[in-house]
Amino acid sequence: MNYLVVFIGAGVGGVLRYILSYFIQKQFPPYFPYGTLAVNLLGSIVLGLMIFGLDEKDLINPSLKLFIGLGLCGGFTTFSTFSLETFNLLKDAEFLFAGLNILANVFLTVFGIYLAYLITR
């Protein structure tokens, strides 16, 4: 049953990732992967809210935790896409944008977890 819960969550997360990333990317210039950055930040906040706001306080059942944490957030966040986009920026000698992409994704997603931690305290 746990496999099914994670499977469904990942499917929902993947569809949400596609929709949000596509929408955000269309709002900004195409030379930087803003959509992936936004998805990674939002996914970090959602995961942090679930862990610090619900799980640590025993307010979430194990199946919902699997659905949100491994399924939804796992399907929603895009580390592999982030890695490919960073590689492509490097391949295209866009070293400034590659560096900005790495820094923004790493620091903002860690900040997203921290923000969720603060919100739940």
User: Which residues contact residue 57 at a Cβ distance below 8 angstroms, ignoring those fewer than 6 apart?
Assistant: 120
C-alpha distance from residue 83 to each of 5, 40, 94 (Å):
27, 12, 14
Q: Which domain holds residue 11?
A: 2-120
User: Which residues contact residue 70 at a Cβ distance below 8 angstroms, ignoring those fewer than 6 apart?
Assistant: 6, 9, 10
DSSP annotation of 78 reads -
Give residue for tokens 């799980």: 55
Percentage of residues of the chain with pLDDT beyond 90: 93
Q: What is the pLDDT at residue 78?
A: 82
Q: pTM (2 decimals)?
A: 0.86
The confidence band for 85, taking pLDDT boundaries of 50, 70 and 90, is very high
Provide the domain count of the chain: 1
